[in-house]
Amino acid sequence: MTAATPDTAGPDTAGPDTAGPDTAGPDTAGIVRRVVVDELRANQVTASAPLDQVTDDLVLGSGGLGISSLLLLHIFVKLEASLGFTFEDAAVAGARFATVGDLVRFVTSAAPAPRRAGET
């Protein structure tokens, strides 16, 4: 199952405000962690864990980073802008997220494969 579509916002969606790279490369996990931290700071969320040590086993919600379901949705939209593709609504809606690792695995599996040199 793929959970992503290329970043060509159709007439039924509002695409991300800023275009990111064409593909998600091997640093997708790093980008996920960075966006999570940026959003936590931007929203002044008081996390139970230090933000410079966001590890995969950290809980996203209460008792961990304190991310609400609404903020997690915002993080997905920010990730679209950073990674340059849009997630399929149905795939996101059908998933469950407990830890940072859950989020990283979901985003990594959703990202389109990196393009090879010369590929258009």
Partner 1 sequence: MTSSDIVDIPRHWYNVAADLPFELPADLTPDQAGSATSQPVGRSMALQLPLALVRQTIGKTSEIAIPDPVRELYRAWRPTPLLRAHRLEQALGTKARIYYKYEGGNVSGSHKLATAIAQAFYYRSAGVQRLTTGTGAGQWGTALAVACRSFGLACKVYMVAGSFTQKPQRKTIMQLHGADVVPSPSLDTRSGKLARDRKIDGGNMAFAVTEALEDALASQGSALSVGSGEAYSILHSTVIGLEADEQLAKLGERPDVVLASLGAGSNFGGIALPFLKYKLRDSKHTVRCVSVESSACPKLTQGVYRYDYTDGSGVTALQKMYTLGHRFRTHNMHAGGLRYHACSKLISALYHHKWTEAVAYTQTDVFASAVQFTQLEGILPAPESAHAVHGAIQEALRARQDGTSPVILFCLSGHGLYDMSSYAEYLEGRMENVVIDDDAIRSSLGYLPDVEARGQRPS
H or E element, residue 93: helix 89-94
| Coil, strand or helix at 34 | helix
In the complex, minimum distance from the CB of residue 93 to partner 1, in angstroms, rounded to a whole number: 4
H or E element, residue 105: helix 100-110
Q: Is 1 in the site for partner 1 (CB under 8 A)?
A: no
Indicate which single residue of 5, 29, 72, 101 sits in contact with partner 1 (rule: CB under 8 A).
72
Q: Which is nearer to partner 1, 19 or 115 (CB)?
A: 19
Nearest CA to 48 out of 29, 61, 34 is that of 61
| Binding residue count for partner 1, defined by CB under 8 A | 42
Largest CA distance in the chain: 47
Binders of partner 1 in range 24-63 (CB under 8 A): 42-46, 59-63
* Contact by Cβ (8 Å): 35, 79: yes
Indicate which single residue of 76, 85, 110, 111 sits in contact with partner 1 (rule: CB under 8 A).
76
Q: Which is nearer to partner 1, 73 or 114 (CB)?
A: 73
Token pair, residue 1, equals 């199952």
Q: Which is nearer to partner 1, 87 or 104 (CB)?
A: 87
